[in-house]
Homo-oligomer: A and B are copies of this chain.
């Protein structure tokens, strides 16, 4: 699938942001969070700022130019930014945030309070004092992040491709006999990561978890020199980054014949995961989706052993809004991309987690990770 032109997608995102700025009574937003800048412009470098002016294209015609919205980066990125951000007026200068404040229109200028440090804020206040137009710096929270929670077609396509790389890498690893008795957790993780890179991932989405035997009972275990042994659960939690988008999946396998307690534990988590996917519907609260899966585990007397939330949004960050957890304040909306990942962990024995990544569609949760969820015995 090919979506609309990237530049048109970015422009549509900025148009949606302008609507938010207007409801918040802001004349502009200074965007300094690099992930938000990538979302709004496509820029992938390590230093930039963006000033989005609220009434820059008053007719809301997405084809119109945005003469007062400005992108700034430094001299290292002159060529790269010309290629990645062809459609916005660009400024080359340092520090980027202050350079843009000096050009801001008058009025209420929002800044991202989670991204701007106290030291940078002092610099902004100083630059605002020097600006020709009178302007007032206003702290904002999560304006761009709330847009990012709902994915557009290009983003869902990137996530689909990221999930595909992870699925393929696991299938190749299994087929090549890469998950076998005698290998270490670390060898398996290096092998899986390298397969994702060869298949086109720029990187794993996060530090890959390979947890064998009793280590599978540690929810976030770092791969060690522990050797895979017969009868072990092997839990793999991993993902691929493709075009900046992060997939995230977990599968738990057994080496050799599973014991009865392993079959029972797997069956329980599988049932909880199925219930969680079924509950991930437009309009459901994050707490309700979590409860749908958690109740299955609690009813089996294992509630204490499911020690984390059910899932989270994925996108340009591997953890982002919305949250699927007991205390979640989120509500599921169409085209949110979230994980569903219940787990039950029996300390000293082993644990099972099954995690998919998918999109909330009008008719239900559409899974993007296609590897079978049945108990795989190697």
- Residues of chain B within 8 A (CB-CB) of A120 are 114
- Residues of chain B within 8 A (CB-CB) of A121 are 118
- Residues of chain B within 8 A (CB-CB) of A116 are 117-118
Residue of B nearest to A197 (CB): B190
User: Is B119 in contact with A117, judged by CB distance below 8 angstroms?
Assistant: no
Residue of B nearest to A119 (CB): B113
Residue of B nearest to A187 (CB): B198
Q: Nearest Cβ in chain B — how far from A188, in angstroms?
A: 13
Q: Nearest Cβ in chain B — how far from A301, in angstroms?
A: 22
Q: Mark A101-132, 1 if CB is under 8 A from B, else 0.
A: 00000000001011111111110000000000
Q: Nearest Cβ in chain B — how far from A232, in angstroms?
A: 20
Q: Nearest Cβ in chain B — how far from A93, in angstroms?
A: 16
- Residues of chain B within 8 A (CB-CB) of A219 are 76
A330 close to B (CB within 8 Å): no
A139 close to B (CB within 8 Å): yes
| Oligomeric state, in copies | 2
A263 close to B (CB within 8 Å): no
Given contacts A190-B194, A190-B197, contact A141 B119 (CB under 8 A): yes
A220 close to B (CB within 8 Å): yes
Contact of A113 among B118, B190, B197 (CB under 8 A): B118
How many A residues are at the interface, by size bracket?
Answer: 20 to 34
A residues 159-173 near B (Cβ < 8 Å) are none
- Residues of chain B within 8 A (CB-CB) of A119 are 113-114, 139, 141
A220 to B46, CA, bound (A): 12
A residues 171-216 near B (Cβ < 8 Å) are 190, 193-194, 197-198
User: Is B114 in contact with A114, judged by CB distance below 8 angstroms?
Assistant: no
Contact of A117 among B79, B117, B194 (CB under 8 A): B117
Residue of B nearest to A137 (CB): B118
- Residues of chain B within 8 A (CB-CB) of A197 are 190, 193
Residue of B nearest to A203 (CB): B207
Q: Nearest Cβ in chain B — how far from A339, in angstroms?
A: 17
A289 to B194, CA, bound (A): 40
- Residues of chain B within 8 A (CB-CB) of A218 are 79
Q: Nearest Cβ in chain B — how far from A79, in angstroms?
A: 8
User: Is B118 in contact with A139, judged by CB distance below 8 angstroms?
Assistant: yes
Most buried by B among A117, A139, A193, A198: A117
A115 to B115, CA, bound (A): 10
Residue of B nearest to A189 (CB): B197
Q: Nearest Cβ in chain B — how far from A27, in angstroms?
A: 19
Can you name 4 extra interface pairs (CB under 8 A) apart from A115-B117, A119-B139?
A113-B122, A116-B118, A190-B198, A193-B197
